[in-house]
């Protein structure tokens, strides 16, 4: 069935800087915000933007992601006429293949896109935490009659050298890309979100594929080629909250942001832009007579007998008597035994912290606790 727009979600990232958190799950499946996984944000944005066709490209630890995504039912993407399909690398007439870069991953799935005869293709990444209405970006793309529109966010000037920076004219047309520039000319950082007019996407992916290099990447190869060819390239400035939670520090910080300011608006119960996720069918949270809980968020299934302060507690966590959890993120199913104390930690899922254990006492940096190992 013909669709005006097809979304392609790049979810193959390994997230090496997240250490043991991505030991057995892909980065998009990493937990965030007491209840969610990172990929829930992008998929919920798609569902809320009324996008009906989504291809999810997996590679690293693809099986866990395939299981989680299923038929897209968690995000309501399973209706008749909708499709949410996991597209993993595999084997075809030319032999076995992996995705060699972001552009290669899309190139190898052009036949999937073609089925829907789309006019536009939205390229997304499953690595970011944000709420965004892609419809507005599509309107912008159409109004500029663009070949490609790149979404960008304003970052503080001192951080701009960590990002891919876009330099644009007053009419938002792009004249230059700078990858992690030492002296940035602008503060518009690429969010890795592109809308292509499909014909141009196909043309440039086929062109890129003729290049004999090991990796084919949008940011490094396709976009610079398009710029050189004077394609109509525009930048779409996004003014919401957006975070790449690619490191332990940023994952911890983004969780703590929820408690302190919630610019993301995740915890606004009146928000009509809901984030959907898997339900754990757990009982309501139980706060016992010995518990103290303040300045924290706690999910269903938790059994709290100890002290929780300024922390994010996922579903089915047990915190026993006299245990203290401070400035920490505790992932699903973990148990903090009696008298234990954790500070400034991310506790991986299904971990047991022994009775009276003290973790990260000097609390100078963020610790990841994973099965008896502590990684700074």
Partner 1 sequence: MDKILGIVNLHSDCNFGNLTSKKSIATTSFLGRYYFIDFILSRFTNCNINSIEILVKNNPVSLFKHLSVGAKEWSVNTQTGGINFMYNELESKKNYLNTDFNTLLHNKKYLYNYNHAFVLFAPCEIISNINYQELMESHILSGKLITIAYKNCSDELDLFTGVDKVNLSDDGKSLKYFSKDDSNPDVYMETFIIHRTKLIEILENFDLDDEIPTLKDIISYAARMGDVNVYKYNGMMRYFRNIENYIDYSLQMLNPETYKKLFDSNNPIYTREYNSIPTIYGKNANVTRCYIANGCNINGNVSNSIIGRNVIVEKDATINNSIIFSYAHIKSGSIIEDAIIENSTVVEEKVKIKGNIKKPAYIQS
Q: Residues in the site for partner 1, rule: CB under 8 A?
A: 33-35, 266-267, 269, 274-277, 279, 281-300, 303, 308, 313
CA distance 107 to 202: 8
* CA dihedral angle for residue 14, residue 125, residue 167, residue 103, rounded to 10 degrees: 80
Smaller CB separation from partner 1, 114 or 279 = 279
Smaller CB separation from partner 1, 167 or 282 = 282
DSSP one-letter string for 94-147: TEE----SHHHHHHTTHHHHHTT--SEEEEEETTEEE---HHHHHHHHHHTT-S
CA distance 154 to 90: 38
Smaller CB separation from partner 1, 77 or 165 = 77
Q: How far is the CB of 19 from partner 1 (least distance, A)?
A: 24
Q: How far is the CB of 143 from partner 1 (least distance, A)?
A: 33
Residue 275 tokens, joined: 């984030």
Residue 283 tokens, joined: 């009982």
Q: How far is the CB of 340 from partner 1 (least distance, A)?
A: 20
Q: How far is the CB of 263 from partner 1 (least distance, A)?
A: 15
Q: How far is the CB of 82 from partner 1 (least distance, A)?
A: 15
Smaller CB separation from partner 1, 92 or 292 = 292
| DSSP code at position 81 | T
Integer angstrom CA distances of residue 202 from 107, 131, 267, 371 = 8, 28, 40, 46
| Terminal Cα-to-Cα distance of the chain (whole angstroms) | 50
Q: How far is the CB of 270 from partner 1 (least distance, A)?
A: 9
Smaller CB separation from partner 1, 148 or 313 = 313
Smaller CB separation from partner 1, 54 or 308 = 308
CA distance 332 to 329: 10
């Amino acid at each position: 069935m013909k669709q005006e727009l097809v979304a392609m979600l790049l979810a193959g990232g390994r997230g090496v800087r997240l250490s043991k958190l991505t030991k057995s799950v892909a980065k998009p499946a990493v937990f965030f915000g007491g209840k969610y996984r990172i990929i829930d944000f992008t998929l919920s944005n798609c569902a809320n933007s009324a996008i009906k066709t989504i291809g999810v490209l997996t590679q690293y630890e693809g099986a866990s992601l395939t299981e989680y995504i299923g038929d897209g039912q968690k995000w309501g993407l399973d209706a008749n006429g909708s499709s949410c399909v996991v597209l993993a690398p595999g084997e075809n007439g030319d032999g076995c293949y992996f995705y060699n870069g972001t552009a290669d991953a899309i190139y190898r799935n052009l036949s999937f896109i073609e089925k829907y005869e789309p006019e536009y293709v939205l390229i997304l990444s499953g690595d970011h935490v944000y709420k965004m209405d892609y419809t507005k970006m599509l309107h912008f793309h159409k109004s500029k009659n663009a070949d490609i529109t790149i979404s960008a966010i304003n970052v503080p000037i001192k951080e701009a050298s960590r990002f891919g920076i876009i330099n644009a004219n007053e009419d938002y047309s792009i004249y230059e890309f700078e990858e992690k520039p030492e002296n940035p000319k602008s503060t518009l950082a690429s969010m890795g979100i592109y809308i292509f007019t499909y014909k141009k996407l196909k043309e440039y992916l086929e062109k890129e594929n003729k290049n004999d290099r090991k990796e084919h990447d949008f940011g490094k190869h396709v976009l610079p080629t398009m710029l050189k060819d004077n394609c109509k390239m525009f930048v779409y400035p996004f003014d919401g909250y957006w975070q790449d939670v690619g490191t332990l520090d940023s994952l911890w910080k983004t969780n703590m942001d929820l408690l302190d300011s919630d610019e993301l608006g995740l915890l606004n119960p009146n928000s009509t832009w809901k984030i959907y996720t898997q339900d754990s069918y757990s009982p309501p949270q139980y706060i016992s007579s010995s518990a103290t809980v303040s300045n924290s968020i706690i999910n269903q299934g938790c059994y709290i007998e100890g002290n929780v302060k300024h922390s994010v507690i996922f579903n089915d966590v047990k915190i026993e008597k006299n245990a203290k959890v401070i400035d920490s993120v505790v992932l699903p199913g973990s148990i903090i035994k009696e008298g234990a104390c954790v500070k400034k930690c991310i506790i991986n899922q299904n971990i047991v912290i022994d009775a009276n254990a003290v973790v990260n006492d000097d609390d100078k940096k963020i610790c990841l606790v994973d099965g008896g190992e502590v990684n700074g």
